[in-house]
Amino acid sequence: MTTYTDRQVENLLSAVDRDANKTAAETVRVFVDAARGRINTVPSNSRAMNAAQRGEAFDHTRVALFRQVIADLQRLAPVQRYVTDQRRAQMVPFYEAYFSNYIEGSTLTIDEAQRVVFRGADVGKPEDAHDIAATYEIVADHAGMSQRPDDADQFMDSLRDRHRVMMAAHPSKFPGEWKVQRNQAGATVFVDPNHVPGTLRAGWEEGAALTDPFQRAVYMMFMVSEVHPFADGNGRSARVAMNAELVPANLHRIIIPTVLRNDYMSALTRTTAGNGPEGLHRVLDFAQNWVARGDFTELEISDRYLRATSALVDSGRADREGIQLRLLKTGELEELGEVAYPATTAPPPDGSITDVRR
């Protein structure tokens, strides 16, 4: 009934009252009122009908895209990289928080971020410092990251709760609240604010078809990013939702290091355009493989691994010079000599690497 005006609907009902018997007319009126969200008494297998009765309109085009992405993901081979040595992975949440903020334009260097998170230091960048400390608080909570939602309501509650913590230093971005204005990146206009809860619910329900944790991680990251439910902090929220599918299964997390940023963003854009999730799956598979091969036992060893694998290289420079994220063989890190940091480890002043889908 969303394609008809109230006047047109009433005219149709008047015609039914005039031409049909009383019982039939009353049945039609109940059905129409349910579809208009005025009553909630009609059981239905229709998502559109149920959404209308809840007062939750959803983006039909996006849900069709989600359905296709799910079908494409199901045709890909499962990815299973289990964490067999928790000690080697203990610093992964810090780098997850660091890179997830860096990709959004944070100006903190690795050293500054470490001092903020582990010493509570004041590095003169209060908003960036809050953002990484808050993100780390979320992703380092193993118990919290291990609790998968049972239904769409729990999923949406967790999205808002985490967003409230991450964006607490940005009151103008409405921490923990759905967006009230449309947002877009380039030519991509994300889901209408009025359709956010309904589209997230539909996206969650469609995602139930995926049982492989890695496939679910890829899908959840894409789905949240595609809805873009908040005024800001959407990329970080999407990546937390992604790893919240891997942690409960004891699989390695996915981190998007700086050098992979352009590949990651391009793969997201291609998936949005309907070109399939294979490229996105491939980038995230590669990123997880990089994490799984790393030694994140302590900060000094982890930093050396980042330098040796070119993880900190600016993605623009990487594209120009053909620099790629390296996957080291077992024992190769120990064989390498000391590796220097890239010349620049903070975003340039013009903000040219800021994530346009944030």
Per-residue pLDDT of the chain (358 residues; tens, 9 = 90+): 445 566 775 776 677 577 667 665 565 565 556 555 555 555 655 554 455 455 679 999 999 999 999 999 999 999 999 999 999 999 999 999 999 999 999 999 999 999 999 999 999 999 999 999 999 999 999 999 999 999 999 999 999 999 999 999 999 999 999 999 999 888 889 999 999 999 999 999 999 999 999 999 999 999 999 999 999 999 999 999 999 999 999 999 999 999 999 999 999 999 999 999 999 999 999 999 999 999 999 999 999 999 999 999 999 999 999 999 999 987 788 777 666 666 544 444 333 334 445 5
Phi and psi at 108, nearest 5°, equal -75, 135
Backbone conformation region of residue 307, classed left if phi is above 0, alpha if psi is from -120 to 50, else beta:
alpha
**82 vs 150: CA distance, rounded Å:** 23
Q: What is the pLDDT, as a whole number, of residue 136?
A: 98
Question: Whole-model pTM?
Answer: 0.82
Q: What is the pLDDT, as a whole number, of residue 56?
A: 78
**179 vs 231: CA distance, rounded Å:** 5
Pick the CATH number of 77-335 from 3.20.20.60, 1.10.3290.10, 1.20.1250.20, 3.30.1490.190: 1.10.3290.10
**Inter-residue contact 310 to 259 (CB < 8 Å):** yes
Backbone conformation region of residue 129, classed left if phi is above 0, alpha if psi is from -120 to 50, else beta:
alpha
**128 vs 345: CA distance, rounded Å:** 15
Q: What is the pLDDT, as a whole number, of residue 38?
A: 58
Contacts of 335 (CB under 8 A, 6+ apart): none
**79 vs 71: CA distance, rounded Å:** 16
CA atoms within 13 A on the CB side of 227: 32
Going from N- to C-terminal start, the domains of the chain cover 6-54, 77-335
